[in-house]
Amino acid sequence: MFSVNYQIRGGLAENSSGRPTVPLTIVQKQGDGWCQHGISDLLLDTGATVTSLNKTVADENGYPIIRHGYPIVFGFNDYARALKALIDLGQGETAARAYLSSFKGRGKDLIDSLRNGYGINDVGLICDLRKVSFIVLYDFVVNDVMIATPSDDDVIITEVLGMNVLEKFNFGFDLEGHLLYLSKNESGVSYVNSDFTCGNVSLHNS
């Protein structure tokens, strides 16, 4: 039996697919004041590198774009579609997988190569990178949070809390008890792309 000490615990809900969601408040500095936007059921996704929101939410709340047309969000379904398309075009599966793997960490280059070299246009989602002043997750405050939003107005995505925020914590799930346990990750080590790294973390009332 292992014992882990966490600083706080918060309620964990489930979406219609049974995946865990958390409440989150996003706070953005606007002039002399602050704009708050609460999300009651943000999907907690340890498979997502960067936290993602819909463009409408970001525009309405004034989250500034740091970089246009980046990142390219390339999901599991996109990978499967690209692999199938390459095989349909005559590439062997081993060669197709090697080709896709050669672009690891270079999503935009992969999308450009698929489109220009193979005419494959239906994979990857072009996003804009934005920064919000801070977020409140239960009793924790995370500053300078980077988020991705779709570049196009008519694209709706599943909004997620990704690893660029989650890596700031040591966390544990009690799915049966509907609880998320959190403590600040004191290591200071980041495993996500440096473009997506968030700022410092503190307890709200400390």
Are 166 and 44 contacting, i.e. CB atoms less than 8 angstroms apart?
yes
Tokens of 19: 């995946």
Q: How many CA atoms lie within 13 A of 186 on its CB side?
A: 3
Q: What is the pLDDT of residue 109?
A: 81
- Cβ within 8 Å of residue 186, ≥6 positions away: none
Residue 105's pLDDT band (boundaries 50, 70, 90)? Answer: low
Tokens of 111: 């999308």
For residues 82 and 156, what is the distance between their CA atoms, to the nearest angstrom?
21
Residue type, position 161, single letter: L
Share of the chain above pLDDT 70, in %: 96
| pLDDT at position 10 over 90 | yes
Alpha helices in 47-143 (DSSP H): 55-60, 76-88, 93-101, 107-118
Residue type, position 152, single letter: D
Q: What is the pLDDT of residue 75?
A: 66
Q: What is the pLDDT of residue 179?
A: 94
Dihedral of CA 59/13/167/79: which sign?
Answer: negative
Per-residue pLDDT tens digits for 38-80: 999 999 998 888 999 999 999 999 999 999 988 877 765 777 8
Share of the chain above pLDDT 90, in %: 60
Class of domain 8-69+127-203: mainly beta
Hey, where are the domains in the chain?
8-69+127-203, 75-123
The position carrying tokens 């934005």 is 130
Distance of CA 81 to the CA centre of its chain: 21
Q: What is the pLDDT of residue 76?
A: 59
Alpha helices in 61-104 (DSSP H): 76-88, 93-101
